[in-house]
Structure 1
């Protein structure tokens, strides 16, 4: 069996950002749940929307640095979001923050985000279906609601295009109740499957280029917008360390794929907690971008 780590991926081929959603309204207004039409799916607060835009601005800054490091590579961006409203709103805020920073930066080396960004709903990024959070199964209708809302947003304002051809790692909401082991396996599988598809897409695109072209002629950038449990799971999958307890709203982790750990096919979704890739990680649960300027 060939060890895939002996065939390293091109540097910069796939970069991932792991982002927790912004501040949620029910953690600020204790009475919101009692009158909400969908009490299990709170939106962002105004502060949460601000946090999301600031996160987009940070990603713009980091991507400018990456573009300077790999000037011959253009970047394509995919936001994959949990179907919960607070994550979808955070995703839209990230795009807006990136776009605003790109517009202000007259000398930006990055392409117009309107042509390079897409967004998709990924049920595999859902909140952990814990009995501490939910009293019953969250219906699958939340998935179609988010898709419809994001597609409508694309049609009514200058937003990220919905990735209509995106195939989710998981088609349905996680089964309630969900234990810790199942939750970890779900997030690891989601990460592995999304990354594998990005690498496969980059490989297919490279075949269309000349024989001398690099596999990473286009950098693939994936922004995972999820929940605290998801970010914690991704940190474990990419660093093999546990104990990341300070996972604040809109914290940002950047992780770059280095190589595949094994040549075996990916296991069936949700059946393994062993990550398939090796990673280089920086900006662990970073929060510095959220500091408001002093008056």
Structure 2
């Protein structure tokens, strides 16, 4: 496909992506935690982090109800793709719990006809910067997390999508530099969008649970904006795919392969009580 070819318009509303940063992590609250932790590179959420994720799940439910209505939502396929790090998988679990709780509060059953699926996507991993990691975390956390999900130790209530073929099989190289991280997230988003759009079926919603750097990269890929450090825990972004862009030459810098309409960017007002 040449650079002169036009973008291919896609069916409106066929794919909606939510981007969510994980919730508050325990080592950012308890500095002594890592001193005795068996896996200090992979901290869990705090209880506040779990509450943050539940609030964000409730917000996703409300946005789905407002945007699509209960009837359309019943024809929607929901899935979560999570970074293999524990704080993200736990965030995914609480997002789902918050979504279901909000459904019950509204007396709705919008998504109960289609079970939520969850899968690990290593392409959503934390940036493996020397500023964050003294050494490369083991690839074994990927299989471990998938096993925990399949066994119900995390992401309880959702079905493990063991048929999902991830964009990549391993964690990034170490040390990972900014441009490499950006290219990884662009490639992962393009892969996810292309895979889901190729499947016949109902409207699809996919929640990508990742890290602060990843949210920045995904917003650049969809809205062409970087937010720097302004990416709060459990902030929410929403992007709807509009068209497929012409393929770039193989020697060109990695550019997004789809055009997106973005209406929420690192939104976090739902996390704070109104006075």
TM-score past 0.5 threshold: yes
Match of 1:37 in 2: 38
Match of 2:208 in 1: 224
Report Cα offsets for 1:241-290 as digits up to 9, x if no partner: 2344310000000000000111x38969xx95300011100111000111
Match of 2:117 in 1: 118
- Map 1:220-259 → 2, pairs under 5 A: 220-259=204-243
Give the unaligned 5+ runs of structure 1.
Answer: 206-217
Match of 1:75 in 2: 76
Report Cα offsets for 1:173-208 as digits up to 9, x if no partner: 111111111111101000000010000013xx4xxx
Q: Identify the match of residue 274 of structure 1 among 232, 235, 255.
A: 255
Match of 2:94 in 1: 93
Match of 2:264 in 1: 283
Q: Does the aligned pair in 2 maintain the 1:14–1:221 contact within 8 Å?
A: yes
Match of 1:3 in 2: 5
Take 1:134 and 1:75, find their aligned partners in 2: how far apart are those partners? 39
Q: CA deviation at 1:68?
A: 2.5
Match of 2:66 in 1: 65
Take 1:242 and 1:173, find their aligned partners in 2: how far apart are those partners? 23
Which secondary structure does the structure 2 equivalent of 1:220 belong to? strand
Take 1:201 and 1:267, find their aligned partners in 2: how far apart are those partners? 26
Q: Does the aligned pair in 1 maintain the 2:70–2:109 contact within 8 Å?
A: no
Q: Could you tell which deviates more after superposition, 157-166 or 34-43?
A: 157-166
Q: Does the aligned pair in 2 maintain the 1:4–1:260 contact within 8 Å?
A: no
Match of 2:49 in 1: 48
Which secondary structure does the structure 1 equivalent of 2:19 belong to? strand
Match of 2:173 in 1: 175
1:159–1:240: structure 2 CA closer, same or farther, 3 Å change rule?
same
Take 1:266 and 1:193, find their aligned partners in 2: how far apart are those partners? 17
Q: Does the aligned pair in 2 maintain the 1:189–1:272 contact within 8 Å?
A: no
Take 1:278 and 1:52, find their aligned partners in 2: how far apart are those partners? 28
Q: CA deviation at 1:66?
A: 2.3
Give the unaligned 5+ runs of structure 2.
Answer: none
- Superposed CA RMSD in Å reads 2.3
Match of 1:210 in 2: none
Q: Does the aligned pair in 2 maintain the 1:266–1:276 contact within 8 Å?
A: no
Q: Could you tell which deviates more after superposition, 69-78 or 83-92?
A: 69-78
TM-score under structure 1 normalisation? Answer: 0.87
Take 2:249 and 2:72, find their aligned partners in 1: how far apart are those partners? 33
Take 2:73 and 2:170, find their aligned partners in 1: how far apart are those partners? 39
Report Cα offsets for 1:139-175 as digits up to 9, x if no partner: 1100011101111117x99511010100000111111
Q: CA deviation at 1:73?
A: 7.2
Q: Does the aligned pair in 1 maintain the 2:239–2:262 contact within 8 Å?
A: yes
